[in-house]
Structure 1
Amino acid sequence: MTFSRLFWQVPTALGTCVILLFLVLLVNECAVARPSKRTKDIAYRETGSPGFSAERHVLDVYAPTKKRAGGYPVVLFIHGGNWDSGSKNIYWFIGRRLAKQGVVAVIINYRLAPNVLVPAMADDCADAVLWTTRHIAEYGGDPNRIFTMGHSAGGGLAALMATKDELFTGLGLTRNPVKGAILDDPAGLDMYDYLQKMEYPNDQQYLVPFGKDPTVWRSVSPMYFVGKDSPPMLLYTGGKTYPSISISGGVFDRKLTGLGIKHTYIVMAGKKHVPMVTQLFWANNLIYRDLLKFVGAK
Protein backbone atom coordinates (compact mmCIF):
# COMPACT_ATOMS: atom_id res chain seq x y z
CA MET A 1 0.00 0.00 0.00
CA THR A 2 1.44 3.39 -0.99
CA PHE A 3 1.76 6.29 1.41
CA SER A 4 -0.96 8.27 -0.41
CA ARG A 5 -3.42 5.33 -0.47
CA LEU A 6 -2.85 4.80 3.23
CA PHE A 7 -3.94 8.34 4.08
CA TRP A 8 -6.81 8.25 1.54
CA GLN A 9 -8.52 5.82 3.92
CA VAL A 10 -8.25 8.20 6.88
CA PRO A 11 -11.12 10.70 7.42
CA THR A 12 -10.19 14.06 5.90
CA ALA A 13 -9.67 16.10 9.08
CA LEU A 14 -7.79 13.31 10.87
CA GLY A 15 -5.80 12.53 7.74
CA THR A 16 -4.71 16.15 7.42
CA CYS A 17 -3.56 16.19 11.07
CA VAL A 18 -1.63 12.94 10.64
CA ILE A 19 0.04 14.20 7.45
CA LEU A 20 0.99 17.47 9.14
CA LEU A 21 2.44 15.56 12.10
CA PHE A 22 4.42 13.35 9.73
CA LEU A 23 5.79 16.40 7.92
CA VAL A 24 6.74 18.10 11.19
CA LEU A 25 8.60 14.98 12.34
CA LEU A 26 10.30 14.66 8.94
CA VAL A 27 11.48 18.28 9.00
CA ASN A 28 12.62 17.83 12.59
CA GLU A 29 14.64 14.73 11.69
CA CYS A 30 16.31 16.51 8.77
CA ALA A 31 17.26 19.36 11.09
CA VAL A 32 18.65 16.94 13.67
CA ALA A 33 20.58 14.91 11.09
CA ARG A 34 22.40 17.85 9.50
CA PRO A 35 24.78 18.56 12.42
CA SER A 36 25.73 14.88 12.76
CA LYS A 37 27.15 11.98 10.80
CA ARG A 38 26.19 8.32 11.24
CA THR A 39 28.63 5.52 10.45
CA LYS A 40 26.76 2.20 10.42
CA ASP A 41 27.55 -1.44 11.11
CA ILE A 42 31.14 -1.20 12.30
CA ALA A 43 32.43 -4.55 13.56
CA TYR A 44 33.78 -4.19 17.09
CA ARG A 45 35.06 -7.76 17.27
CA GLU A 46 37.47 -9.17 14.72
CA THR A 47 35.57 -10.70 11.83
CA GLY A 48 36.13 -14.43 11.63
CA SER A 49 37.05 -14.70 15.31
CA PRO A 50 35.39 -17.53 17.31
CA GLY A 51 31.71 -16.78 17.87
CA PHE A 52 31.74 -13.68 15.66
CA SER A 53 28.30 -12.57 14.49
CA ALA A 54 28.09 -10.18 11.56
CA GLU A 55 24.67 -9.07 12.84
CA ARG A 56 25.32 -8.78 16.58
CA HIS A 57 28.99 -7.74 16.89
CA VAL A 58 28.43 -4.38 15.23
CA LEU A 59 27.80 -0.81 16.31
CA ASP A 60 26.82 2.56 14.87
CA VAL A 61 28.61 5.83 15.62
CA TYR A 62 26.77 9.16 15.59
CA ALA A 63 29.20 12.08 15.70
CA PRO A 64 28.92 15.86 15.43
CA THR A 65 30.11 17.00 12.01
CA LYS A 66 32.05 19.87 13.52
CA LYS A 67 35.40 18.80 14.99
CA ARG A 68 36.46 19.93 18.44
CA ALA A 69 39.92 20.14 19.98
CA GLY A 70 40.28 17.38 22.53
CA GLY A 71 37.23 15.56 21.23
CA TYR A 72 33.66 15.20 22.43
CA PRO A 73 32.45 13.11 25.36
CA VAL A 74 31.26 9.64 24.36
CA VAL A 75 28.10 7.80 25.40
CA LEU A 76 27.85 4.10 24.55
CA PHE A 77 24.18 3.06 24.55
CA ILE A 78 23.12 -0.56 25.21
CA HIS A 79 19.60 -1.48 24.09
CA GLY A 80 17.09 -3.43 26.16
CA GLY A 81 14.80 -6.24 25.09
CA ASN A 82 14.54 -8.81 27.89
CA TRP A 83 18.00 -10.19 27.02
CA ASP A 84 16.46 -12.02 24.03
CA SER A 85 15.49 -9.27 21.57
CA GLY A 86 16.27 -5.72 20.49
CA SER A 87 18.53 -3.95 18.02
CA LYS A 88 20.65 -0.84 17.77
CA ASN A 89 18.63 0.14 14.69
CA ILE A 90 15.62 1.01 16.86
CA TYR A 91 17.55 3.64 18.79
CA TRP A 92 18.84 5.88 16.00
CA PHE A 93 17.00 8.80 17.59
CA ILE A 94 19.20 8.61 20.70
CA GLY A 95 22.28 8.74 18.50
CA ARG A 96 20.97 11.75 16.59
CA ARG A 97 19.85 13.64 19.70
CA LEU A 98 23.18 13.15 21.46
CA ALA A 99 25.31 14.03 18.43
CA LYS A 100 23.35 17.24 17.87
CA GLN A 101 24.06 18.24 21.48
CA GLY A 102 27.81 17.70 21.42
CA VAL A 103 28.20 14.02 22.31
CA VAL A 104 29.59 11.17 20.21
CA ALA A 105 27.08 8.33 20.55
CA VAL A 106 27.95 4.66 20.08
CA ILE A 107 24.86 2.44 19.74
CA ILE A 108 25.68 -1.27 19.92
CA ASN A 109 24.28 -4.70 19.22
CA TYR A 110 25.25 -7.74 21.28
CA ARG A 111 24.39 -11.44 21.17
CA LEU A 112 21.08 -12.54 22.66
CA ALA A 113 19.43 -15.50 24.37
CA PRO A 114 18.87 -18.34 23.69
CA ASN A 115 22.09 -18.37 21.67
CA VAL A 116 24.19 -17.15 24.62
CA LEU A 117 23.84 -16.44 28.33
CA VAL A 118 24.14 -13.00 29.90
CA PRO A 119 27.87 -13.35 30.77
CA ALA A 120 28.58 -13.60 27.02
CA MET A 121 26.41 -10.51 26.44
CA ALA A 122 28.50 -8.68 29.05
CA ASP A 123 31.67 -9.78 27.26
CA ASP A 124 30.26 -8.38 24.01
CA CYS A 125 29.50 -5.04 25.65
CA ALA A 126 33.01 -4.93 27.13
CA ASP A 127 34.46 -5.64 23.68
CA ALA A 128 32.41 -2.71 22.32
CA VAL A 129 33.79 -0.46 25.06
CA LEU A 130 37.31 -1.66 24.25
CA TRP A 131 36.78 -0.87 20.55
CA THR A 132 35.55 2.58 21.58
CA THR A 133 38.68 3.29 23.62
CA ARG A 134 40.83 2.38 20.61
CA HIS A 135 38.92 3.98 17.76
CA ILE A 136 36.52 6.68 18.92
CA ALA A 137 39.10 9.46 18.41
CA GLU A 138 38.79 8.72 14.68
CA TYR A 139 35.16 9.88 14.95
CA GLY A 140 35.84 12.97 17.04
CA GLY A 141 35.31 11.38 20.46
CA ASP A 142 37.50 11.60 23.54
CA PRO A 143 38.61 8.07 24.59
CA ASN A 144 39.20 9.36 28.11
CA ARG A 145 35.54 10.36 28.52
CA ILE A 146 33.51 7.21 27.82
CA PHE A 147 30.19 6.74 29.59
CA THR A 148 27.77 3.82 29.33
CA MET A 149 24.01 4.18 29.05
CA GLY A 150 21.18 1.69 28.71
CA HIS A 151 17.49 1.02 29.17
CA SER A 152 15.94 -2.08 30.78
CA ALA A 153 18.25 -5.08 30.24
CA GLY A 154 20.68 -2.65 28.62
CA GLY A 155 20.62 -0.54 31.77
CA GLY A 156 21.76 -3.50 33.84
CA LEU A 157 24.56 -4.18 31.37
CA ALA A 158 25.56 -0.50 31.37
CA ALA A 159 25.80 -0.62 35.17
CA LEU A 160 27.87 -3.81 34.95
CA MET A 161 30.32 -2.10 32.56
CA ALA A 162 30.80 0.68 35.11
CA THR A 163 31.24 -1.57 38.13
CA LYS A 164 32.82 -4.91 37.12
CA ASP A 165 36.46 -4.05 36.49
CA GLU A 166 37.33 -7.70 35.73
CA LEU A 167 35.55 -7.36 32.39
CA PHE A 168 38.34 -5.04 31.26
CA THR A 169 41.36 -6.42 33.06
CA GLY A 170 40.50 -9.67 31.28
CA LEU A 171 40.90 -7.77 28.01
CA GLY A 172 44.33 -6.51 28.97
CA LEU A 173 43.37 -3.05 30.26
CA THR A 174 44.93 -1.86 33.49
CA ARG A 175 41.78 -0.01 34.57
CA ASN A 176 38.10 0.29 33.78
CA PRO A 177 37.71 2.93 31.03
CA VAL A 178 34.07 3.74 31.90
CA LYS A 179 33.84 7.15 33.56
CA GLY A 180 30.17 6.96 34.52
CA ALA A 181 26.81 5.38 33.74
CA ILE A 182 23.34 6.62 32.83
CA LEU A 183 20.77 3.99 33.84
CA ASP A 184 17.27 4.35 32.40
CA ASP A 185 14.80 2.05 34.19
CA PRO A 186 17.51 -0.61 34.50
CA ALA A 187 16.67 -4.31 34.83
CA GLY A 188 18.96 -6.97 36.23
CA LEU A 189 20.75 -4.94 38.90
CA ASP A 190 20.45 -7.92 41.27
CA MET A 191 19.44 -11.08 39.42
CA TYR A 192 21.04 -13.18 42.17
CA ASP A 193 18.39 -12.03 44.60
CA TYR A 194 15.61 -11.90 41.99
CA LEU A 195 16.01 -15.44 40.67
CA GLN A 196 16.28 -16.94 44.13
CA LYS A 197 12.91 -15.46 45.10
CA MET A 198 10.95 -16.01 41.84
CA GLU A 199 8.16 -13.73 43.12
CA TYR A 200 6.48 -12.77 39.86
CA PRO A 201 4.53 -14.64 37.14
CA ASN A 202 6.64 -16.06 34.30
CA ASP A 203 9.92 -15.59 36.15
CA GLN A 204 11.02 -18.98 34.82
CA GLN A 205 11.61 -17.28 31.46
CA TYR A 206 14.73 -15.60 32.85
CA LEU A 207 16.43 -18.95 33.35
CA VAL A 208 16.91 -18.96 29.57
CA PRO A 209 19.27 -15.94 29.45
CA PHE A 210 20.68 -16.40 32.97
CA GLY A 211 20.86 -20.17 33.25
CA LYS A 212 20.29 -22.15 36.45
CA ASP A 213 23.58 -21.56 38.25
CA PRO A 214 23.30 -18.96 41.06
CA THR A 215 27.00 -18.13 40.74
CA VAL A 216 26.27 -16.97 37.18
CA TRP A 217 23.35 -14.84 38.39
CA ARG A 218 25.66 -13.13 40.85
CA SER A 219 28.46 -12.70 38.29
CA VAL A 220 26.29 -10.41 36.14
CA SER A 221 24.55 -8.48 38.93
CA PRO A 222 26.03 -4.97 39.32
CA MET A 223 24.80 -4.83 42.92
CA TYR A 224 27.75 -7.04 43.95
CA PHE A 225 30.44 -5.16 42.05
CA VAL A 226 29.73 -1.54 42.91
CA GLY A 227 32.42 -0.28 45.28
CA LYS A 228 33.87 2.89 46.73
CA ASP A 229 35.90 3.42 43.54
CA SER A 230 32.96 3.00 41.17
CA PRO A 231 32.29 5.98 38.89
CA PRO A 232 29.36 8.41 39.28
CA MET A 233 25.95 7.47 37.95
CA LEU A 234 22.58 8.84 36.94
CA LEU A 235 19.74 6.48 37.86
CA TYR A 236 16.14 6.89 36.69
CA THR A 237 13.13 4.67 37.29
CA GLY A 238 9.54 5.13 36.23
CA GLY A 239 6.91 5.79 38.85
CA LYS A 240 4.74 3.14 37.20
CA THR A 241 7.45 0.75 36.05
CA TYR A 242 7.63 -2.94 36.96
CA PRO A 243 7.84 -3.49 40.74
CA SER A 244 11.08 -5.46 40.41
CA ILE A 245 12.80 -2.54 38.67
CA SER A 246 11.43 -0.03 41.16
CA ILE A 247 12.57 -2.10 44.14
CA SER A 248 16.04 -2.92 42.82
CA GLY A 249 16.53 0.71 41.75
CA GLY A 250 15.83 1.87 45.29
CA VAL A 251 18.20 -0.71 46.78
CA PHE A 252 20.91 0.26 44.30
CA ASP A 253 20.45 3.93 45.20
CA ARG A 254 20.87 3.14 48.88
CA LYS A 255 24.01 1.10 48.20
CA LEU A 256 25.53 3.93 46.14
CA THR A 257 24.69 6.35 48.94
CA GLY A 258 26.21 4.11 51.58
CA LEU A 259 29.45 3.81 49.61
CA GLY A 260 29.64 7.53 48.96
CA ILE A 261 29.35 7.16 45.18
CA LYS A 262 28.32 10.43 43.56
CA HIS A 263 25.00 9.83 41.87
CA THR A 264 21.52 11.13 41.17
CA TYR A 265 18.41 9.00 41.65
CA ILE A 266 15.12 10.21 40.19
CA VAL A 267 11.74 8.48 40.09
CA MET A 268 9.84 9.90 37.10
CA ALA A 269 6.22 10.18 38.19
CA GLY A 270 3.65 8.39 36.05
CA LYS A 271 6.18 6.81 33.68
CA LYS A 272 5.84 3.16 32.69
CA HIS A 273 8.76 1.02 31.53
CA VAL A 274 8.61 1.54 27.74
CA PRO A 275 7.89 5.30 27.88
CA MET A 276 11.04 5.63 29.97
CA VAL A 277 13.00 5.13 26.75
CA THR A 278 10.58 6.47 24.13
CA GLN A 279 10.67 9.85 25.90
CA LEU A 280 14.25 10.11 24.63
CA PHE A 281 12.87 10.87 21.18
CA TRP A 282 12.43 14.43 22.42
CA ALA A 283 15.63 16.43 22.82
CA ASN A 284 14.37 18.65 25.64
CA ASN A 285 14.07 15.76 28.05
CA LEU A 286 15.11 15.62 31.71
CA ILE A 287 17.45 12.68 31.11
CA TYR A 288 19.23 14.48 28.27
CA ARG A 289 19.50 17.68 30.28
CA ASP A 290 21.09 15.82 33.18
CA LEU A 291 23.25 13.71 30.87
CA LEU A 292 24.81 16.68 29.08
CA LYS A 293 25.96 18.16 32.38
CA PHE A 294 27.07 14.75 33.65
CA VAL A 295 29.36 14.00 30.71
CA GLY A 296 30.62 17.56 30.34
CA ALA A 297 29.14 18.35 26.96
CA LYS A 298 29.29 22.01 25.87
Structure 2
Amino acid sequence: MLKWQLGDYLTTFLLIIIRAKIKNWKIADSLQAEKIKYGNNKHQYLLWYNPQSKAERNNIIFFIHGGGWNKGNPEFFKFMADYFTKLGFTTVMPTYRLAPDFQFPDQEIDVFEALKKTSSILRGSAVEKNIIIAGQSAGAHLGGLLLLNQDLQQKYKLNKDLFTAFLSISGPLDLSRPCRTKRAEKYLYGFVPTPKKRQKANPINYLHSDFKIPIFCLHGAKDPLVPKAHSIVFLKEINAKTQAETKLKIFENKHHSDLTGLFFKNEPGNKEVKEWLLKVDKSN
Protein backbone atom coordinates (compact mmCIF):
# COMPACT_ATOMS: atom_id res chain seq x y z
CA MET A 1 0.00 0.00 0.00
CA LEU A 2 1.39 3.41 -0.96
CA LYS A 3 2.07 5.94 1.77
CA TRP A 4 -0.58 8.38 0.53
CA GLN A 5 -3.16 5.58 0.41
CA LEU A 6 -2.29 4.50 3.94
CA GLY A 7 -2.61 8.12 5.00
CA ASP A 8 -6.20 8.28 3.86
CA TYR A 9 -7.15 5.09 5.68
CA LEU A 10 -5.49 6.30 8.89
CA THR A 11 -6.97 9.78 8.76
CA THR A 12 -10.37 8.33 7.96
CA PHE A 13 -10.42 6.24 11.11
CA LEU A 14 -8.32 8.32 13.47
CA LEU A 15 -9.52 11.80 12.62
CA ILE A 16 -12.99 11.48 11.21
CA ILE A 17 -14.51 8.44 12.89
CA ILE A 18 -13.06 9.04 16.35
CA ARG A 19 -13.37 12.81 16.36
CA ALA A 20 -16.79 12.84 14.72
CA LYS A 21 -18.15 10.32 17.21
CA ILE A 22 -16.77 12.31 20.13
CA LYS A 23 -18.11 15.53 18.66
CA ASN A 24 -21.51 13.99 17.92
CA TRP A 25 -21.68 12.57 21.44
CA LYS A 26 -20.93 15.98 22.95
CA ILE A 27 -23.64 17.72 20.92
CA ALA A 28 -26.19 14.90 21.16
CA ASP A 29 -28.39 16.66 23.71
CA SER A 30 -28.02 20.21 22.43
CA LEU A 31 -28.73 19.53 18.75
CA GLN A 32 -31.79 17.51 17.86
CA ALA A 33 -33.20 16.81 14.42
CA GLU A 34 -36.66 16.03 13.16
CA LYS A 35 -36.63 12.86 11.05
CA ILE A 36 -38.88 13.21 8.00
CA LYS A 37 -39.66 10.39 5.58
CA TYR A 38 -39.87 11.10 1.85
CA GLY A 39 -40.28 7.47 0.69
CA ASN A 40 -40.99 3.95 1.90
CA ASN A 41 -37.43 2.59 1.96
CA LYS A 42 -35.61 2.76 5.31
CA HIS A 43 -32.98 5.02 3.71
CA GLN A 44 -35.49 7.49 2.29
CA TYR A 45 -35.56 10.12 5.01
CA LEU A 46 -34.01 13.45 5.87
CA LEU A 47 -32.90 15.08 9.11
CA TRP A 48 -34.09 18.62 9.69
CA TYR A 49 -31.99 20.78 12.02
CA ASN A 50 -33.17 24.21 13.14
CA PRO A 51 -30.62 27.02 13.66
CA GLN A 52 -28.79 27.29 16.98
CA SER A 53 -27.89 30.92 16.34
CA LYS A 54 -30.34 33.82 16.42
CA ALA A 55 -28.74 35.26 13.30
CA GLU A 56 -31.34 35.47 10.54
CA ARG A 57 -30.11 33.77 7.39
CA ASN A 58 -31.51 34.16 3.89
CA ASN A 59 -30.74 30.55 2.91
CA ILE A 60 -30.97 26.99 4.16
CA ILE A 61 -28.26 24.37 3.62
CA PHE A 62 -29.15 21.06 1.98
CA PHE A 63 -26.18 18.80 2.77
CA ILE A 64 -25.80 15.36 1.15
CA HIS A 65 -23.58 12.83 2.93
CA GLY A 66 -20.82 10.80 1.30
CA GLY A 67 -19.81 7.17 1.60
CA GLY A 68 -18.95 5.90 -1.86
CA TRP A 69 -22.69 5.67 -2.72
CA ASN A 70 -22.72 2.38 -0.80
CA LYS A 71 -22.65 3.41 2.86
CA GLY A 72 -23.06 6.35 5.18
CA ASN A 73 -25.90 8.30 6.75
CA PRO A 74 -26.59 11.88 7.82
CA GLU A 75 -26.35 11.00 11.52
CA PHE A 76 -22.59 10.53 11.12
CA PHE A 77 -22.29 14.11 9.85
CA LYS A 78 -24.06 15.65 12.84
CA PHE A 79 -20.88 17.59 13.61
CA MET A 80 -21.37 19.40 10.29
CA ALA A 81 -24.99 20.16 11.11
CA ASP A 82 -23.65 21.64 14.35
CA TYR A 83 -21.27 23.84 12.34
CA PHE A 84 -23.94 25.08 9.91
CA THR A 85 -26.67 25.62 12.50
CA LYS A 86 -24.33 27.60 14.76
CA LEU A 87 -23.90 29.97 11.82
CA GLY A 88 -27.67 30.38 11.81
CA PHE A 89 -28.57 28.11 8.89
CA THR A 90 -31.49 25.71 8.92
CA THR A 91 -29.78 22.51 7.78
CA VAL A 92 -31.41 19.61 5.97
CA MET A 93 -29.50 16.33 5.60
CA PRO A 94 -31.06 13.66 3.37
CA THR A 95 -29.98 10.09 2.96
CA TYR A 96 -30.62 7.81 -0.01
CA ARG A 97 -30.78 4.17 -1.08
CA LEU A 98 -27.35 2.59 -1.23
CA ALA A 99 -25.36 0.64 -3.81
CA PRO A 100 -24.88 -2.11 -4.80
CA ASP A 101 -28.45 -3.12 -3.89
CA PHE A 102 -29.61 0.07 -5.56
CA GLN A 103 -27.72 1.53 -8.50
CA PHE A 104 -27.87 4.76 -10.47
CA PRO A 105 -30.26 6.50 -11.02
CA ASP A 106 -31.89 5.48 -7.71
CA GLN A 107 -29.60 7.71 -5.63
CA GLU A 108 -30.17 10.65 -7.96
CA ILE A 109 -33.94 10.11 -7.83
CA ASP A 110 -33.80 10.00 -4.03
CA VAL A 111 -32.03 13.33 -3.61
CA PHE A 112 -34.51 14.93 -6.00
CA GLU A 113 -37.38 13.44 -3.99
CA ALA A 114 -35.78 14.67 -0.76
CA LEU A 115 -35.33 18.17 -2.17
CA LYS A 116 -38.93 18.20 -3.40
CA LYS A 117 -40.05 17.25 0.12
CA THR A 118 -37.87 20.00 1.57
CA SER A 119 -39.22 22.54 -0.91
CA SER A 120 -42.81 21.66 0.00
CA ILE A 121 -42.06 22.16 3.70
CA LEU A 122 -40.44 25.53 3.00
CA ARG A 123 -43.30 26.78 0.83
CA GLY A 124 -44.37 30.22 1.97
CA SER A 125 -41.30 30.79 4.14
CA ALA A 126 -38.68 33.50 3.71
CA VAL A 127 -36.10 30.95 2.52
CA GLU A 128 -38.43 29.08 0.15
CA LYS A 129 -36.28 29.83 -2.90
CA ASN A 130 -32.85 30.10 -1.29
CA ILE A 131 -31.13 26.74 -0.99
CA ILE A 132 -27.38 26.19 -0.74
CA ILE A 133 -26.50 22.69 -1.93
CA ALA A 134 -23.54 21.11 -0.14
CA GLY A 135 -22.10 17.62 -0.18
CA GLN A 136 -19.10 15.49 0.68
CA SER A 137 -17.62 12.94 -1.75
CA ALA A 138 -20.53 10.93 -3.24
CA GLY A 139 -22.84 13.54 -1.74
CA ALA A 140 -21.09 16.31 -3.68
CA HIS A 141 -21.52 14.24 -6.85
CA LEU A 142 -25.27 13.90 -6.20
CA GLY A 143 -25.42 17.60 -5.38
CA GLY A 144 -23.88 18.36 -8.77
CA LEU A 145 -26.62 16.34 -10.46
CA LEU A 146 -29.28 18.19 -8.46
CA LEU A 147 -27.95 21.49 -9.71
CA LEU A 148 -27.31 20.55 -13.32
CA ASN A 149 -29.83 17.93 -14.47
CA GLN A 150 -32.47 20.19 -15.99
CA ASP A 151 -34.67 17.30 -17.15
CA LEU A 152 -35.13 16.06 -13.59
CA GLN A 153 -35.58 19.60 -12.30
CA GLN A 154 -38.52 19.93 -14.69
CA LYS A 155 -39.87 16.48 -13.83
CA TYR A 156 -39.90 17.27 -10.11
CA LYS A 157 -41.04 20.86 -10.70
CA LEU A 158 -37.98 22.29 -9.01
CA ASN A 159 -37.12 25.68 -10.43
CA LYS A 160 -33.37 26.14 -10.91
CA ASP A 161 -33.74 29.52 -9.21
CA LEU A 162 -34.16 27.63 -5.92
CA PHE A 163 -30.40 27.16 -5.83
CA THR A 164 -28.13 29.91 -4.59
CA ALA A 165 -24.71 28.21 -4.19
CA PHE A 166 -22.84 24.90 -4.24
CA LEU A 167 -20.22 23.72 -1.73
CA SER A 168 -18.38 20.60 -2.91
CA ILE A 169 -16.08 18.71 -0.54
CA SER A 170 -13.87 16.07 -2.22
CA GLY A 171 -16.45 15.74 -4.97
CA PRO A 172 -16.18 13.24 -7.87
CA LEU A 173 -17.54 15.74 -10.38
CA ASP A 174 -16.06 14.21 -13.54
CA LEU A 175 -16.74 10.48 -13.72
CA SER A 176 -14.89 10.17 -17.03
CA ARG A 177 -11.62 10.27 -15.12
CA PRO A 178 -9.95 6.88 -14.47
CA CYS A 179 -9.96 5.41 -10.96
CA ARG A 180 -6.58 5.41 -9.22
CA THR A 181 -7.26 2.64 -6.73
CA LYS A 182 -9.14 -0.66 -6.56
CA ARG A 183 -11.15 0.80 -3.70
CA ALA A 184 -12.36 3.71 -5.83
CA GLU A 185 -13.12 1.34 -8.71
CA LYS A 186 -15.21 -0.88 -6.42
CA TYR A 187 -17.26 2.08 -5.21
CA LEU A 188 -17.78 3.50 -8.68
CA TYR A 189 -18.74 0.28 -10.44
CA GLY A 190 -21.08 -0.75 -7.65
CA PHE A 191 -22.92 2.51 -8.34
CA VAL A 192 -22.61 2.81 -12.14
CA PRO A 193 -21.71 -0.67 -13.51
CA THR A 194 -21.87 0.24 -17.21
CA PRO A 195 -20.23 2.97 -19.35
CA LYS A 196 -23.68 4.21 -20.38
CA LYS A 197 -24.77 4.67 -16.76
CA ARG A 198 -21.45 6.28 -15.93
CA GLN A 199 -21.95 8.84 -18.69
CA LYS A 200 -25.50 9.61 -17.54
CA ALA A 201 -24.31 9.96 -13.95
CA ASN A 202 -21.51 12.40 -14.80
CA PRO A 203 -22.29 15.93 -13.53
CA ILE A 204 -19.85 17.59 -15.92
CA ASN A 205 -21.91 16.31 -18.87
CA TYR A 206 -24.87 18.42 -17.75
CA LEU A 207 -23.13 21.80 -17.74
CA HIS A 208 -25.14 24.50 -19.49
CA SER A 209 -24.46 28.14 -20.27
CA ASP A 210 -27.18 29.59 -18.02
CA PHE A 211 -25.73 28.00 -14.88
CA LYS A 212 -24.79 30.97 -12.72
CA ILE A 213 -24.61 30.19 -9.00
CA PRO A 214 -21.37 30.51 -6.98
CA ILE A 215 -19.38 27.30 -6.46
CA PHE A 216 -16.70 26.54 -3.88
CA CYS A 217 -14.76 23.29 -4.36
CA LEU A 218 -12.59 21.96 -1.52
CA HIS A 219 -10.14 19.16 -2.24
CA GLY A 220 -7.18 17.39 -0.68
CA ALA A 221 -4.01 17.39 -2.77
CA LYS A 222 -3.26 13.82 -1.64
CA ASP A 223 -6.75 12.42 -2.21
CA PRO A 224 -6.31 8.77 -3.31
CA LEU A 225 -9.99 8.11 -4.04
CA VAL A 226 -11.06 11.25 -5.88
CA PRO A 227 -8.03 13.05 -7.34
CA LYS A 228 -8.01 16.84 -7.10
CA ALA A 229 -8.33 16.96 -10.91
CA HIS A 230 -12.07 16.33 -10.46
CA SER A 231 -12.53 19.75 -8.87
CA ILE A 232 -9.95 21.48 -11.06
CA VAL A 233 -11.38 20.25 -14.37
CA PHE A 234 -14.99 20.78 -13.28
CA LEU A 235 -14.34 24.41 -12.36
CA LYS A 236 -12.33 24.92 -15.54
CA GLU A 237 -15.36 23.77 -17.55
CA ILE A 238 -17.65 25.99 -15.47
CA ASN A 239 -15.43 28.99 -16.16
CA ALA A 240 -15.30 28.23 -19.89
CA LYS A 241 -19.04 27.72 -20.36
CA THR A 242 -20.76 29.90 -17.77
CA GLN A 243 -20.57 33.18 -15.90
CA ALA A 244 -20.70 31.47 -12.51
CA GLU A 245 -18.38 32.68 -9.76
CA THR A 246 -15.99 29.88 -8.82
CA LYS A 247 -13.57 29.28 -5.97
CA LEU A 248 -11.11 26.43 -5.47
CA LYS A 249 -9.18 25.52 -2.33
CA ILE A 250 -6.61 22.71 -2.46
CA PHE A 251 -5.36 21.52 0.94
CA GLU A 252 -1.80 20.31 0.43
CA ASN A 253 -1.62 17.86 3.34
CA LYS A 254 -5.17 16.50 3.18
CA HIS A 255 -6.40 13.25 1.67
CA HIS A 256 -10.09 12.42 1.18
CA SER A 257 -12.21 11.76 4.24
CA ASP A 258 -10.07 13.86 6.56
CA LEU A 259 -11.05 17.01 4.67
CA THR A 260 -14.33 17.16 6.60
CA GLY A 261 -12.15 17.75 9.65
CA LEU A 262 -11.99 21.42 8.67
CA PHE A 263 -15.51 21.73 10.08
CA PHE A 264 -14.06 21.16 13.54
CA LYS A 265 -13.21 24.37 15.39
CA ASN A 266 -9.88 26.03 14.60
CA GLU A 267 -9.04 23.66 11.72
CA PRO A 268 -7.28 25.20 8.68
CA GLY A 269 -9.86 26.32 6.14
CA ASN A 270 -12.69 26.60 8.68
CA LYS A 271 -12.74 30.39 8.60
CA GLU A 272 -12.56 30.53 4.79
CA VAL A 273 -15.62 28.30 4.41
CA LYS A 274 -17.51 30.36 6.99
CA GLU A 275 -16.69 33.62 5.21
CA TRP A 276 -17.79 32.20 1.85
CA LEU A 277 -21.10 30.91 3.25
CA LEU A 278 -21.90 34.23 4.90
CA LYS A 279 -20.96 36.14 1.74
CA VAL A 280 -23.23 33.93 -0.35
CA ASP A 281 -26.02 34.34 2.19
CA LYS A 282 -25.73 38.14 2.17
CA SER A 283 -25.94 38.32 -1.61
CA ASN A 284 -29.46 36.83 -1.64
Bin the TM-score by the shorter chain: 0.7 to 0.9
Counterpart of 2:8 in structure 1 is none
AA at the equivalent of 1:95: A
Match among 203, 211, 222 for residue 222 of structure 1: 203
Counterpart of 1:61 in structure 2 is 48
Counterpart of 1:184 in structure 2 is 169
Tell me how far 1:237 sits from its aligned partner: 0.9
What's the C-alpha RMSD, in Å, of the aligned pairs? 3.0
Give me the whole-angstrom Cα distance separating, in 2, the residues matched to 1:65 and 1:243. Answer: 34
TM-score where L is the length of structure 2: 0.80
Counterpart of 1:44 in structure 2 is 38
Kindly indicate whether structure 1 or structure 2 has the higher relative contact order, using CA contacts under 8 Å at least 6 residues apart: 2
Q: Secondary structure in 1 aligned to 2:72?
A: coil
Distance of aligned partners of 1:141 and 1:97 in 2 relative to their CA distance in 1, 3 Å threshold: farther
Tell me how far 1:64 sits from its aligned partner: 2.0
Give me the whole-angstrom Cα distance separating, in 1, the residues matched to 2:134 and 2:109. Answer: 16
Distance of aligned partners of 1:60 and 1:198 in 2 relative to their CA distance in 1, 3 Å threshold: closer
Give me the whole-angstrom Cα distance separating, in 1, the residues matched to 2:238 and 2:169. Answer: 16
TM-score where L is the length of structure 1: 0.76
Q: Which consecutive residues of structure 2, in runs of 5 or more, have no partner in the other structure?
A: 1-18
Counterpart of 1:108 in structure 2 is 94
- Residues 17-45 of structure 1: CA deviation (Å, up to 9, x unaligned): xxxx9xx9799748x93xxx633321123
AA at the equivalent of 1:112: L
Q: Secondary structure in 1 aligned to 2:48?
A: strand
1:278-293 map, 5 Å: 278-282=261-265, 284-293=270-279
AA at the equivalent of 1:74: I
- Residues 73-123 of structure 1: CA deviation (Å, up to 9, x unaligned): 111111110110001110111112211211110011111001211311011
AA at the equivalent of 2:150: D
Q: Secondary structure in 1 aligned to 2:122?
A: helix
Distance of aligned partners of 1:217 and 1:39 in 2 relative to their CA distance in 1, 3 Å threshold: same
Tell me how far 1:277 sits from its aligned partner: 1.0
Is the contact between residue 78 and residue 149 of structure 1 (CA under 8 Å) also seen in structure 2?
A: yes
Q: Which has the larger radius of gyration?
A: 1
Give me the whole-angstrom Cα distance separating, in 2, the residues matched to 1:256 and 1:133. Answer: 26
Question: What is the identity percentage for the equivalent residue pairs of Structure 1 and Structure 2?
Answer: 20
Q: Which consecutive residues of structure 1, in runs of 5 or more, have no partner in the other structure?
A: 1-20, 46-51
Counterpart of 1:211 in structure 2 is 193
Tell me if 1:172 matches 2:157: yes
